[in-house]
Amino acid sequence: MNLPPLLQSFVLHFGEMGSRWGINRTVGQIYALLYASSQPLCADDIVEALSISRSNVSMSLRELQAWNLVVMKHIPDDRRDYFTTPDDVWQILRTLAEERKKREVDPTLSVLRELLMQRPGSEEERHAQARLAEMQSLIEQLTKWYDDVKHLETEQLATLLTLGAKVTKLLDAKDRIVSLGRKRTEPKTS
């Protein structure tokens, strides 16, 4: 690689992580390079920086475009396509979440719904359907939560993420308030 040490470490790590996330290592490396670069890069720049083939760069850029993770830019008097990532890291997170939902969660929900509509032929299938119904219910709840959260403004989303365990304390306080309210409205027995 023809990169400064800090950038090279980041690019290599992102490539390794990409393969763990189910994407090609080169796709991860190209994304990391584009993300950390101060200016948009063309395919030739990427080939030179990462010492990989032009065809590999082209295929990887197409995959990143399919994921809506890169933005194509044009530079005046240059016919080449240049690529960069969105500036807003929160937008990148939102895009990743939405794409993963479309590619992984939605098809799983479709299969679960289809399987739950079938008439079970045995006790084993009834048991399996009951378990599948639990899974579908949980995924539906998470999907509803995601649909609610994805519309939050960035500042609200950042606040939500910083709450962490404080949410548990808030829920405990809510439960105490609700139980106090029930005690006050319960008829007194004498």
Express each pLDDT in 122-143 by its tens digit. Answer: 999 999 999 999 999 999 999 9
Decide if 79 contacts 72 (C-beta within 8 A).
no
* Weakest-pLDDT range from 56-60, 151-155, 164-168: 164-168
165, pLDDT greater than 80: no
Distance from C-alpha of 39 to C-alpha of 33, rounded to nearest angstrom: 10
Mean pLDDT value of segment 79-86: 95
- CATH number at 5-84: 1.10.10.10
Decide if 33 contacts 41 (C-beta within 8 A).
yes
Decide if 20 contacts 50 (C-beta within 8 A).
no
Q: What is the pTM of this model?
A: 0.75
- What pLDDT digit, counting tens, does each position of 32-82 carry? 999 999 999 999 999 999 999 999 999 999 999 999 999 999 999 999 999
